[in-house]
Structures are given as structure tokens and as C-alpha cells.
Amino acid sequence: MRFDYIAENLRARRAEIGSHPLSPDRVLGFTLIRGWVYLMFVGAAASSMTWTGEALPPVFYTVSTASLCAVLLASALAGSRFVQLMLHPAARLAGPVLTSGGTLLLASSVGESGAALMCGLLGALTTGIGSGIIDLGYGELYRNEPPARTTFEVPLAFFLAAVVFSLVIALPPTAGCVVCSLLPAISGWILFGREHAWSRKHRASVLPIDFDLKSFAWRIGVCACLVGVADGMVRAAFLSSNNLSMHMFLQWPLAGAGLLTMAIVYGAAILSSEQSARTIYKAAIFVMAFFFMLLPVFTGAQDMESVLALAGYGTFNVLIWMLLAEISYTYRLSSTEVFGIGWAMVTLGVLLGSIAGTIVDQFAPFTPQFLSLIALVATMAVLLSFLFVFRESDLIDLTEEPDGDNAGAIEKAAESPSSEGVVAVAGESGGDEGRRPRFHDRCLEVAAAFELSPKETEVMTLFAKGRSAARIQEELFISKGTVSTHLRHIYQKMDVHSKQELLDVIEDRDRK
């Protein structure tokens, strides 16, 4: 019976992805910028992208991370003004130019001379600013993509980015620096030249609405910081206990961790009854906690332990990106605000994790008991972050309610018993047998045009046919609150404010 359920889920996911073709350009572009991040800033003192092959001083990592956070937060606070700025080609060009140029400056920053220090600081500032613009650009792209497509593309891109890291890091220092500096340039060309992010050629699927930035930052920030600290502690303890260099730790296990992340995310997507990043996150967070608990067990099995130690970091980044994309897509929120706040908090969490790792490293060498304690603390931090994962009710509370008489229109229309008689307005009065399939087809066309989910399509069709919330609840075996939530999403995606407006949209489909 369970196999039948899995097979049905696989068919549903394949059909959903098939209705929204994947974009090789977008996957490649996102892969390259994530590969650049791995090469430059996967951790303090981890990058050796310098002309001599020496590691970058940790201060440059901190400065770049801080400037990245500043750009992300500033863009979120500026909101529509930032988007207006990005409509200018010169502003979009600044992203890849600053990132590539800053990479070359950082490559020249090794040494004790004043010139090397200036190159490093300038390179750290420009890479933080430039990569922030590129990250927000990909946030804008994925904000307009259905969650099923994001669920497939993002884990694949992160895995391919780890492969890019492993290949580039094996090159001679000079060649590695040149290739690394080209990655953001190519990614930016794909992002702005071929995918047209923020261009007038790229039409948003829905216009954003306002929401509570402070509450959003609090929830996503606590979640990101807890997991970031847990990951930093585990990584530092593992490196010290196994006497490994960062390069030995990262080069091939990072790709293995990316492959494991893909298995976790795809497996959770197939097994979950609801195609939702929040549902996948909740399943995967327990897998991450389990991996952290296993680390003391695999002491001595270096390759296996390296993959497990990195899997938490990679999986969390993938899940947060998917979660932010789904939130901004489903709830019609600004990608600049959602990714600006969300990704800034993730970046801050990684920085705090690096600091926590440095503190933990002071206690090396570790006893087996202390390693178990670190694993326990990391596991508890990851599980605690589970409490801050957004529920649908949390996300709805973040958005501002419509003004005036429309404030309760959705729920009122769904609750009205008299709505059973609205079918005639939709064109099904008289000759019910002959007209019902045609009306149903129009509903499916409208659902496809506005990219409604399968469950939203069912709710919309029944609602348009005159079913009340109670009847929809009975027919679909869902709760009253879930019916109201689906109707709210439908109204947002279709940009309508009453049942009559929804019916008008369906009738217009017939006239076309």
C-alpha cells in the first residue's frame, strides 16, 4: 500500500514539473554563483583563491560577510525603491562586475604590506555588495517560479556547485583564481542577460503585497542562527578531532554532502503528502539532527564523517532557499524583502557559527565525552529551530488584510449557505449534463493560467460551482481553516477580491 502511495506521489510530482519545464540556464547560473560562494566564503580562513595559494586572512571573510548582510538588509528596508534602482542596466551590471573584480583584489591580498591590506579590504567590500545583488536577483527569479520547479532545481544547483568547487580547488593557484573570478561574471550574464531579472522584459507572476518585516525577520533569524551555530560547532570539533586541513575536509566530501542533500530533499518531497517547502523542511530537519548525533559514532571513518558534518550545512542552505522562494511565490510577497531579510539572517547565522566554531576549537584536543556533548548541543539547536518554522497561519498573519468591505469577503462568501445557488451565475443552469464539463474545463484553464496548485484548483472549482466552506470541507476531507487558507491564496494569485470577480474571470475564459 505504501508503495502505491509513493508511486502516486511520483506521478504527481512528475506531472507538476512537466507542466512547468525546467530552465537549464537558471540552474547553470545559480550553480556558478553558489560555486563561487563555496570557493571564497564557505568558512573563515577556508579560501585559498589567491595567486600564491595561501589562505585568505579571516578578517576579509568577516568584512565580506558583513557587507553582504548590509546590502541584503538595506534592500529589504528600501523595498520598491531598490527594485526601481535595479531597473537600470548599470545597477544590474554592478553585481557581477563588483563580485568578479573583488575576487581578483582578494587574490592579491596575501602579504603584510599596506597595499595587500587595502586590496583585501576593498575586495571584501565589493564581493559582499556584488554577491548580494546577484543573490537577490536569483531570489527574484525563483519568486516567480512554482515551488515544484524550485524543489527540483535548487538542490541540483547546490550539488553541482559543490562539484564546481571540487574541480576548481584542484587547479593551480593562478588558474583557480582566474576561473573563480569568471564564475560570478558568467552567472550575472545568465541572470540579467538571458533570464532578464528585474528587467522590463521579465514580468512578475503576481504583484507583491505588504507584510510584517519585523516578525518575519524574528522567525527566520532565530531559525538561521540556531542552525548556523550548530553547524559551526560541529564542523570545528570535527576538524580538530581529526587533525584535518580545511581543504582536505571540503574538496570531495562537499560534493558527497551535496548528493546526500539531494537525496534528503527529493526523498522528503516524494514521501510528503503535500508539496510544500515547509513540509519538506520539517522532515529534513530531523534527518539533520540525526546526522549530528551520528558524528561521535563515526569517529575514525573520516570520509563518512566529513560528508555527515557537511550535510547539515548544505541541507539547511538548500531548504532555506526553497522556503524563501515558496513563501514569496505562494503568499505574493516581495522577493527583495523576503530574500533580503531571510538570506541576511542565514548569512549572519553562518558567521555566528564560524565564531562558535572558533570558540569550540579552543578546547581541542577533544575527549570522546566532549565530542558527544557538542553533538548533543548541536542536535538540540537544530531541533529547537523546528519551533520557528513558519506555519500557514503564521504567514497569513504576516500579511496585511484587505481594506474596507473586502476584509472578510473571502471567508464570508465561503460561509454563506445561499452560495449554493450561485451555480447559475457561472453558466451551469439548465442542461446541467451538457454544460458541466465545459465549465469544469474553464476552471482548469483558469487554474493553469494563474498557476494554482492541484488542491487550490479543486477548492476553486467547488467554490465557483456554489459549494459552501462546509461542503468543500466534507468533499475534500480538509479542515475549515484549510479551506479559508486555500481561498485566500486563490484570491491573491488571481488578484480578485470577491466571488463575483472570480466568476467573472472564469466567464471571460469562455469568451476567449
Share of the chain above pLDDT 90, in %: 23
Most confident of the ranges 41-55, 275-289, 454-468, 495-509? 454-468
323-342 pLDDT, tens digit each: 888 888 776 678 898 899 88
Instruction: Please state, in angstroms and rounded to a whole number, the distance separating the CA atoms of residues 373 and 240.
Output: 15
How far apart are alpha carbons 11 and 7 in whole angstroms?
Answer: 6
Residue 364 reports pLDDT greater than 80: no
Please tell me the pTM assigned to this model.
Answer: 0.74
Residue with cell 553585481: 95
Q: Which of 504, 320, 299, 292 is nearest to 383 (CA)?
A: 292
Q: 422 CB contacts (<8 Å, ≥6 apart)?
A: 466, 499, 503
CA distances from 284 to 311, 375, 433 (A): 11, 17, 47
Alpha-carbon distance 346 to 278, whole Å?
16
Inter-helix orientation angle 302-330/253-271, to 10°? 50
pLDDT in tens, 138-195: 999 998 887 788 888 999 999 999 999 989 988 999 999 999 999 999 999 999 999 9
Give the residue, 413 or 288, on which the prediction is more confident. Answer: 288
Give me the percent of the chain exceeding a pLDDT of 70: 73
Instruction: Please report the pLDDT score of residue 415 as a whole number.
Output: 52
Q: What is the pLDDT of residue 428?
A: 41
Residue 248 pLDDT level (bands cut at 50, 70, 90)? low
Task: Give the separation between CA 429 and CA 449, rounded to whole angstroms.
Answer: 25
pLDDT attached to residue 97: 97
pLDDT of res. 242: 63
Local confidence band at 224 (pLDDT 50, 70, 90 cut-offs): confident
pLDDT at 239: 66
CA proximity to 309, closest of 374, 265, 369, 365? 374
Predicted confidence (pLDDT) at residue 309 exceeds the cutoff of 90:
no
Q: What are the angstrom distances between the C-alpha of 416 and each of 160, 406, 463?
A: 52, 15, 11
Mean pLDDT of 52-78: 90
Q: Hey, what's the cell of 312? A: 547539515
Dihedral, 220, 224, 226, 229 alpha carbons, nearest 10: -160
pLDDT of residue 286: 75
Residue range 70-116, pLDDT digits in tens: 999 999 998 888 988 998 999 999 999 999 999 999 999 887 888 89
Q: What is the dihedral of CA 67, 68, 70, 76, to 10 degrees?
A: 160
